[in-house]
Chain A
């Protein structure tokens, strides 16, 4: 099968969906050349640096029959649009009694490792998960990126696609044929029997690398990628933990009230799963600090394959 990058897979999803549906259009502070070339400046707009305004514009256009795709660039810049996201997009369908649909796709890159310091290194998806009314995905491979983004664009709700900046150049197999990945379905990236590692985005790859190393020590690790954060596939995660009895959660974000906390709760508040657990849940996350610039400090703050492997060993000895 052909291989393309994570970033290119996202672009392919946009191009295919914009061909498929004439009500789609694209808003961002810079207009991607590949989209302008095919769809023209009418449907591919370079906006002023006014995230609050163009996020709101997308909501209004969506409620008026269009299907906007908004690229905030880094998630950092979405914060400028918080009113439109939190008070408007998340609530508008419910609050007005479902009168109109608001099909909007928001794209935002997340994560660190780029030595861009605190404002440009953030993984704040749990802030958005905490709101009711927004769906959100977090792909870890080019295949998932393309398939999830296509589903997001077709969905009749606001969907945020969080995309890992560390994975932009990562290449993986993507078929030529048309496909989608449904929202709300986790993927077992590696089958194992001793410990479940639920990992997000870049950390899926770190978890897979850790699993390879642990395999040599005779430890069999299962790696689950939720892929969609809202709605989350509870069944797949719980079934895996019921099988292994041990859970490590790996997330590039900090732990406090994070996606990792949500996943831990999903597992432990289910009686059937909890009764099969042999050890406490272990979270391997970033330290709970703004991300520092200096390279040694930055590396120190983030989780990685070694920290995941240590977490796996810990849950193995704990019970």
Chain B
């Protein structure tokens, strides 16, 4: 469904992405892992059209979408969320979700109805009339997903929706994402925390210093020395091996 090929992006002297490629098949939940500053968010901003890559291409459903503006890409069925949640503070939760729903529903009544439906589906039924600014972090993360879903997108790019949540909240979101996937949506999700992805993703990619250093099932990845090094620092894999043998 999504094919990302050889993305490279420089910020001044910093090589934020270097020749990164990935694939997201229809109906899958794919993880994008990596330590802080690895270039994951940058990868999303390029895929979703917020920034132009220096080189490389992005295809959605076989169509080249490289360099299209974000609203066009959203119209084609792919939507991103933000790591730093960005609710429309002056609006209620329902109105927030409706902003997404307006993409496919011109009338206010329909958009609000769709927003209500999606809000309830994400367990936010009781919060619909609250100002979005009053939500907790967990509520905002959900709102972020709800708004994205309301656009009618089939592919959702989630940027660290689990970060900052307590374990019970993580479990709830995991359940919600799985349920939405079962209804026919596809996910590419960035997670900084490995455990969160382990239970959801079938495949995951690992970025480090802008390079894709590994790909596989989460179970394979945690045993991959390159991945362990990326997370724990140089020599960590060797030390772990020693510890295991000792």
A binds B: no
The chain A residues found within 8 Å of chain B, CB to CB, are none
The chain B residues found within 8 Å of chain A, CB to CB, are none
